[in-house]
Structure 1
């Protein structure tokens, strides 16, 4: 088993950069994406990653989450399994996207 470390690179073909660009295009100009992080994730049957995006903006979280869930993400070799929005401090929030390898 390979242990995760912030110093080790993501798995080959990891869609984090592409997902960042797609998310920025989907959010438009009303929401700013700040720092993003990636955390490898696995279950008994799947391998993937948790992608966390710190955001600033004032869009309603529930409406935004429903819009992102309905989005058709084009990530070759990966599937978006879940999208969640967590409120943060002040006007900020975090978007978490779980991807699994196809």
Structure 2
């Protein structure tokens, strides 16, 4: 660093203190640019990962919705079967279907 200060003093015609301040500013700017670049890379990576996560979550939710629909259909059929057995509706429906067939034959 001292070599750079001496070179700035000699070639730019500035004082040693001015050269040190200039190098300090340059150093901070370079570090900040590197940090900003790393931050941008990190943000881009996070964006990609979030996009992948969102797509996976969407697919899983769609699968769950489909499975829930199937489970609901099975539950409705089960409840309807229980209801029919409790009320005798199943027997009534069979009897009505048989009577209708008999009438159609006549």
TM class by shorter chain equals under 0.3
Larger RCO of the pair (alpha carbons < 8 Å, separation 6+): 1
* TM-score of the aligned structures, taking structure 2 as reference length: 0.17
Give the strand-richer structure, 1 or 2.
1
TM-score by length of 1: 0.17
